[in-house]
Amino acid sequence: MTTRLFTFVILLIVFVAKLNFAYGQTNLFATALTVNGAAVSNYEIDQKVRYLRFLGEGGNIKSKAEEELIKEKIYIQETERVGIDLTPKQIHTAATDFAESRNNSLNGLLNQLGRSGVNKESFFGYIEAQLAWTEFARSVFGPTIRDLPVPDVDEKLLLEYRTTTNLVNLLEIVIVIDENNPDQAEQIAQEIYRSIRTPEDFSLTARNYSASSTRNEGGAVGWLNIDNVNSSFRNVINRTASGRVSEPVRVDNLYYVFFVLGKRTESSSVNFVSIDYATLRVDGLGADQVSSLQGTVANRSQNCEDFSEFSTQFNAENFVRQTVERANLGAFADPLSELDNNEVSRVELDDGSSYLVMLCKRNLVVDEEVRERILNNLRNRKLDDLSRNHYSKLRAAAIVRRK
């Protein structure tokens, strides 16, 4: 009996030694570091490294993985402190939305992650931490950004008016990279790029081979704002002419190929109902004198009220401030369209008269749907700024100990 017991103990020691050797020099389930007392295991770091590789991260991935896990621990700690409690349904919905943002189903994404060594529980843990932080930011900082000043909104509307929107109409084919034959997906993508010439052939190929949720529609994505397209695709799509197939693009473990059906430019839906502007008639002055006068006005006049005061050295009838509908601006329409508020320009009319013109204000008119969209964008930007600043303070104060 003693001999058998001794033999069993020896075998157990050998088994444990082999198990530790299989894990390398580090026990995967041992604590690698703590964040304010909360443990982060070597296994969690290994999972995060695999996840970041799946997402296409480069550089020092282990260091990035550790920092991401520290962030997630802080997120969870802070949200628990204020009582944020997520339901399984919320987490599942957020995970589904994430998968769809990558042109995939949740089950499809989980299968791809599994093949890369990332288990389901780890992925849902990442989603939970991000969602908890989003809910925290809305709960804590949301009330402070509910009421934004009207000038902020109008400034954003003005920027949107002066910016055109570039749209692109796309078909797509998505090819999954097989770990056992990683070169095959690239070969297929390159063959599509080289051989397909018509949208009909491209759609047929998409129906047969694409891994995207758009395959049943022949790969039809529809019209998109090119600025909202993933930056990995944007340059390739911009280089591809209408009626042509794009070069293949690899993102994570997928290859994407696009057929550009068409491109167009649209102006914003924001309009101006009227223009408030001021003019100073400067007939009889030479070109050099007018240029010098323009510089003086620009330096001394911060707005149209200052411009009015400056004009008192001229005859009163030479200075006019008025608000005119855009359609009735006449010869001043083009010069004023180039100016920002309180900028001054020189204008010479066909009748030989000469003016200094200052734009006082554009009076905006916009439907409530557009204004609300702009407001939401501004709120989200401020919310991101506040939450990032708050996290920076938490990270600086966090006690991180490495084992």
Residue ranges making up the domain that contains 86: 31-143+398-402
Out of 218, 234, 266, pick the residue that ends a domain. Answer: 266
Q: Which of 361, 351, 343, 336 is nearest to 294 (CA)?
A: 343
Same domain for 176 and 222, yes or no, is yes
Out of 235, 251, 266, pick the residue that ends a domain. Answer: 266
Same domain for 60 and 121, yes or no, is yes
Same domain for 259 and 276, yes or no, is no
Judge whether 40 lies within some domain: yes
Judge whether 64 lies within some domain: yes
- Helix or strand holding residue 287 (H, E): helix 287-300
Same domain for 179 and 139, yes or no, is no
pLDDT reported for residue 25? 47
CB under 8 Å, gap of 24 or more: what pairs does 56-61 form? 56/251, 56/252
Query: How much is the average pLDDT of 73-83?
Result: 94
Number of domains in the chain: 3
Inter-axis angle of helices 182-195 and 199-209, to 10 degrees? 160
**Beta strands per DSSP E along 191-270:** 220-225, 244-245, 249-251, 254-266
Query: How much is the average pLDDT of 303-318?
Result: 92
At which residue do the structure tokens 């006068």 appear?
A: 293
Q: Convert the pLDDT of each residue in 343-400 to its tens digit.
A: 999 998 888 889 999 999 887 666 677 667 767 777 888 888 899 999 999 999 999 9
Query: If you write DSSP's letter for every residue of 17-82 in order, what string do you get?
Result: HHHHHHTTTS-TTSEEEEETTEEEEHHHHHHHHHHHHHTT--SSHHHHHHHHHHHHHHHHHHHHHT
- The answer to whether 20 touches 27, Cβ cutoff 8 Å, is yes
Judge whether 18 lies within some domain: no
Structure tokens at 116: 């890369």
Cα separations (Å) of 246 from 175, 194, 230, 367?
14, 10, 15, 38
Judge whether 22 lies within some domain: no
Distance (Å, whole) CA 91 – CA 126 = 10
Same domain for 322 and 361, yes or no, is yes
User: Does the pLDDT value for residue 15 go beyond 80?
Assistant: no
Query: What are the φ and ψ backbone dihedral angles of 367, each rounded to 5 degrees?
Result: -75, 160
For the ranges 8-12, 45-49, 305-309, 353-357, the lowest mean pLDDT is seen at 8-12
**The CA-based dihedral angle spanning residues 14, 19, 21, 23, taken in that order and rounded to the nearest 10 degrees:** -170
User: Does the pLDDT value for residue 13 go beyond 60?
Assistant: no
Q: Convert the pLDDT of each residue in 25-43 to its tens digit.
A: 458 789 999 999 999 999 9
Judge whether 130 lies within some domain: yes
Diameter over CA atoms, the chain = 122
Q: Convert the pLDDT of each residue in 238-286 to its tens digit.
A: 999 999 999 999 988 889 999 999 998 865 545 566 889 999 999 888 8
- Say which CATH number the domain at 125 has: 1.10.4030.10
At which residue do the structure tokens 């004009």 appear?
A: 311
Judge whether 11 lies within some domain: no
